[in-house]
Structure 1
Amino acid sequence: MIRNPLSVSFSVWRAIFLREALDRLFDMRGAWFWLLAEPVLHIGFMAFVFSIMRVRTVGNVDVFVWIMVGMLAFFLFRRIAVQVSYAVDCNRPLFTYRQVKPFDPAIARAVLEAFLMAIISTFILGTAALLGHDTFPGDSLLVMQAVFGLWLFGFGYGLVASVLMELVAEMEHVLKILMLPLYLISGVIWPLSAVPHPYRDILMINPIAHGLELVRLGFFPDYHTVSGLSMQYLYAWAVISVFLGLLLYRRFALQLVMR
């Protein structure tokens, strides 16, 4: 029976998805717990810091929920970017099968990470709602658009990063260091509206900042966000990064497989 290429691709993606899921959830004792513990510890620590500073609201929003929503959105981007960056390296033995291409583990990892983050986010937001916080989004469509934009940008970032790391080994250290500044300048732990204007415009070049603020605005329609937010800007960066990543995958396909 002759199968069409699309059917073969879906079968490969399904197999790699299941393989990656087993690896992510059962590669060590309590692996599923640490997937949840990381964002919970980050959120809890920042909430504790703000409580010591006696800050109750940010932009007319409960500071605890403000931190939670922004941090979960950033973790979505970061986890997808990191997982896709190492997709080729961690799945190199699979390339002995001619059906498996370097792009296949990348897309499988991106979808898996989105699925895991959806479960984690639902659990954390649901727990916060039971504790009396308002965590139901006011504009679900805006939240989904912004979240998908962050997912797409994280996917594109990971594609580009994986090729760069294969070509220049030292890029791995550079990209790891880059994640900390991104965490700080994306408005995850402090409001960008508090940054003076000349510097705020520089920070808003970062598309992740647009994504995080749009997610918060979707949750809280009365949120006092920064001016100049643009969904188109976020998606422009996302689409360009994915397109560039695909070009690099095609150009260096042999190097990715044969290293």
Structure 2
Amino acid sequence: MTILKQKTIAEIKQLLEQSHIDQTIIQELKSDQRVGVQKLVQSYEKKQFKHEQLCKQFEDMCVYEKASFDRGCQYVAGVDEAGRGPLAGPVVAAAVILPKDFRLIGLNDSKQLKAATRREFYDTIKQEAISYGIAAVDNDTIDKINIYEATKLAMTRAIEQLDPEPDHILIDAVPLNNLTASSESLIKGDCKSVSIAAASILAKVTRDQMMSNIHKEYPDYQFAANQGYGTKHHLNTLHSKGVTPYHRKSFAPVDAIYAGK
């Protein structure tokens, strides 16, 4: 009997929770006839496969950054926004310059991540970034200049906070003019670029916290849960209680309710 077969299932579980397991050990465990051991091995291999997929995804999302570095760029920024579609609250944009050796497996478009993961990544990105900027444009300004222009304004303000200044900028979907560096606008960039994905997380977490603070003022609208989007409860509350100072009065159906107050 091998040493592994003398171990209890609990001990084997603890062994498989280590970061790296030699494949000879996995092969030996596969020959163990205990059902509990086989389930542990299957679970381990499933997790390893998922991790390998995430590693490949991360590498694929570094393509635009690597191309920029290969052209001689030193500081590549990613830019994204959160909150273009809601009926209430600001639009928030973030810009971030990541180091060349930055690695955060699982990084993706903020909407694809669980809230707890977003918060964890938010802290990591802020700690490891060379520089980042976050800017918000409030709902009153959105009503004055429209959401598209407000989004561009927030993005520009976020970029202006970067120090050092970027020499190339990757932007999610929205083309920006009058930048001091070259730029690319990428459709669904938050799924294609680690820098844009990182910016999307900074913007999303920041905006969610702002909406949670607004929720404390107007709890009936459940802003902490819906982030200002037009959920059924939000729309019903709009009709019954009216428009708050944080609603975008130029957005339907807020405009109709506001006009008829």
The question of a shared fold, defined as TM-score above 0.5 by the shorter chain, is answered with: no
Structure number with higher strand proportion: 2
TM-score, normalised to structure 1, is: 0.26
Query: Which structure has more RCO (C-alpha within 8 Å, separation ≥ 6)?
Result: 1
Structure with max Cα Rg = 2
